[in-house]
A and B are shown apart, each in its own frame.
Chain A
């Protein structure tokens, strides 16, 4: 019997809108020996089971402390979820905070969210429209533009996804504005330093528990050994 090439019925319509498969990232920066040692120690003590679905408490506490120390943004560790890279964080946030048929406002590079929005049946726009529900924004956006859009978000009650991954960081964070903080989800990733370990996080907002459940429904939890390795890396200040 030959291996089958085609499914007996048509694929779902949403598949046609998705990008073709891309080649994997080739960068694989060496990791400090302490990171590998921490991963091996975790395995040796039996960290091979499901973790808490939002991630190991130590990593969630680090994320909350990091947001506070770096930007003065207060997030409870219970509002942090460790994800399979920032890809999963973006997908979960987009699909739970935007709605099918709605628009996501993205001033800048939208390549990282387009696929998720096509799956959802939402679209990306680069200017304010009546059906915008969510602002996806990164630190790369010109600051005056960002401030104007964040003001619009405040006035119109949009969700805000603030994506720190692959961005140069400064001291600004939208959740420093208390009026916005409950609607800001911060996303970041360790993929620049640990691309094959699939580690990211999303934190904050009054939707945090819903986002956690959304992640759980897809992958249950993030790879345990990756979390322990990543924790060692961030504690050493190397990510």
Chain B
């Protein structure tokens, strides 16, 4: 609850709805001039040229007719091959479908699995855009705590403690949005045992799986023994290949649940735009240098941003993957939503308050590293005086 009357009603009215709060701030920023936006998870880097050229070729050749709702076969085969090679998942084309971005993948998976009254375990903090999908299915979110002291890793014991007879699924997002933590292989092995013991479905969002900072590495829980039949793995081209606007992602899992998700997609959004599927095919089958080059850029930016946060007096769990820093702003003594508003109005920097990712995270903010180093440095310089002015 934000009670400060100096904060506009447009922000206060939506403060309890994480997604709407984020969009209210973004829309406010759009009306302002000279704003540095470190809010939305939209890579500033371009889609690599060979991917754009593949899309151009498809358009020029008229290869843009509608596809099967699961996606065109060459792309599904390429996804299956890629996930076999990179994620060690046992998949064929029947185990894969193309989705309109990663967010739709989660929507489809939840609709296919969750009945009204079923519980789905969700790590806290969470990417709140998933709330709507769970609510639409009549599911009930049960939070599983994670902590900064543990770098927001997920503990099997915490998962098990949250299980009830109504539990049907566990959602894992690794690397995590918003915390930038990863669920490490040892933890995933322990969590897999819990999932098998309690017959849980695991829905795992791996959209940031190619953006992991060494020495950490990404691991897919679906590759573990006994997990293939209970895991739905979600991914998208959006982040690793800077392709957010193409709206192209994919889901992998047992053939029957993929078939169910496709039947849901058929009556909700239809197939993915064909031009985006050609772009996705080029992304997976073309040179992968761009993924490493982009990761190197994020590594350099991360250093700059973390140094800035040190100057600002913000603590943080080590960002191990993803495109964000999840920082503890409690040293300011200001509610995160109010702090975000002040930084936007007076510092002209857009960041997101922690309350946009869970009600209790009033002492955290999420800051993206999706601007060049010079801009990140400028953002820090803009935020410092605002913090000095208001720090309690």
A9 to B120, CA, bound (A): 14
Q: Given A7-B257, A220-B101, A197 and B273 touching (CB < 8 A)?
A: yes
Does chain A have a CB within 8 A of B281? Answer: no
Known contacts A27-B65, A198-B270; is-contact A8 B246 (Cβ 8 Å): no
Which of B53-61, B212-220, B293-301, B308-316 faces chain A? B53-61
- B contact face: mostly helix, strand, loop, or mixed: helix
Contact call A216/B23, Cβ cutoff below 8 A:
yes
Minimal beta-carbon separation of B57 from chain A (angstroms): 10
Q: Are A220 and B103 in contact (CB under 8 A)?
A: yes
Q: Among the listed stretches B186-194, B260-268, B318-326, which one makes contact with chain A, having 4 or more residues with CB under 8 Å of it? A: B260-268
Determine the chain A residues whose CB is within 8 A of the CB of B270 once the complex forms.
84-85, 87-88, 198
Do A224 and B46 have beta carbons less than 8 Å apart?
A: no
A224 surroundings in chain B (CB, below 8 A)? 245-247
Provided the pairs A48-B243, A84-B270, A88-B269 are in contact, do residues A24 and B111 lie with their beta carbons within 8 angstroms?
A: no
Q: Report the stretch among A49-57, A148-156, A176-184 that lies at the interface.
A: A49-57
**Contact B247–A53 (Cβ < 8 Å):** no
Which one of B86-94, B158-166, B356-364 is at the interface? B86-94
In angstroms, Cα B59 to Cα A36, docked, is 6
Is A11's CB within 8 Å of the partner chain B?
Answer: yes
Q: Among A12-20, A59-67, A69-77, which stretch is in contact with chain B?
A: A12-20
Q: Tell me, yes or no, whether B255 is within 8 Å of chain A by CB.
A: yes
- Given A11-B113, A48-B52, A50-B244, A218 and B107 touching (CB < 8 A)? yes
Q: Kindly list chain B residues whose C-beta atoms are within 8 Å of the C-beta of A229.
A: 59
B168 interface residue (CB < 8 Å to A): yes
B199 / chain A contacts, CB cutoff of 8 Å = 8-9
Binds A, one of B130-138, B145-153, B330-338, B373-381: B130-138
Query: In the docked arrangement, what's the CA distance between A115 and B266, Å?
Result: 8
Q: Which of B19, B43, B62, B264 has the most CB of A within 10 A?
A: B264
Identify which of residues 179-202 in chain A touch chain B, using a CB-to-CB cut-off of 8 Å: 191, 194-198
Provide the B39-57 mask, 1 if CB < 8 A to any CB of A, else 0: 0101100110000100110
Main DSSP-derived SS at the A contact region:
loop
Is there contact, CB below 8 Å, between A12 and B273?
no
Query: In the complex, are the beta carbons of A12 and B113 less than 8 A apart?
Result: yes
State the Cβ distance, A217 to closest chain B Cβ, in Å: 4
B64 touches A119 (CB 8 A): no
Question: CB-defined interface of B57-91 with A at 8 Å, one 1/0 digit per residue?
Answer: 00110101111111000000000000000000011
Partner of B245, one of A23, A115, A225: A225
Q: How far is the CA of A4 from the CA of B264 in the complex (A)?
A: 20
* A221 proximal to B (CB < 8 A): yes
Instruction: Please tell me the size bucket of the interface on B.
Output: 35 or more
Q: How far is the CB of B368 from chain A (nearest CB, A)?
A: 13
Most buried by A among B91, B101, B247: B247
Say yes or no for B180: interface residue by CB 8 A criterion: no
How many pairs, one residue from A and one from B, have CB atoms within 8 Å of each other in the complex?
A: 236
Asked if residues A50 and B245 are in contact (CB atoms below 8 Å), the reply is yes
Contacts of B60 in A (CB 8 A): 36
B43, B56, B256, B275: the one contacting A5 at CB < 8 Å is: B256
Whether A196 lies near B274 (C-beta < 8 A) is yes
Verify B260–A220 contact, CB threshold 8 A: no
A99 at the A/B interface (Cβ < 8 Å)?
A: no
A40 surroundings in chain B (CB, below 8 A): 56, 59
A132 within 8 Å of B by Cβ? no
Cβ A88 vs Cβ B229 within 8 A: no
CB contact under 8 A between A11 and B244, given known A19-B263, A43-B56: no
Interface centre among A9, A12, A47, by most chain B C-beta atoms within 10 angstroms, is A12
A217 to B128, CA, bound (A): 10
User: Which residues of the partner chain A approach B272 to less than 8 Å between Cβ atoms?
Assistant: 198, 223
14 A-B pairs within 8 Å (CB atoms) are namely A3-B90, A9-B168, A15-B264, A36-B59, A49-B244, A85-B269, A196-B273, A196-B274, A217-B136, A220-B101, A220-B103, A220-B129, A224-B245, A225-B276
Q: Which 8 A-B pairs have the closest CB atoms?
A: A115-B267, A28-B65, A224-B245, A217-B132, A196-B274, A1-B90, A8-B230, A4-B254
Q: Interface of B with A (CB < 8 Å)?
A: 19-20, 23, 30, 40, 42-43, 46-47, 52, 55-56, 59-60, 62, 64-70, 90-92, 94-95, 100-101, 103-104, 107, 111-115, 129, 132-133, 136-137, 168, 199, 201, 228-230, 242-247, 253-257, 259-260, 262-264, 266-276
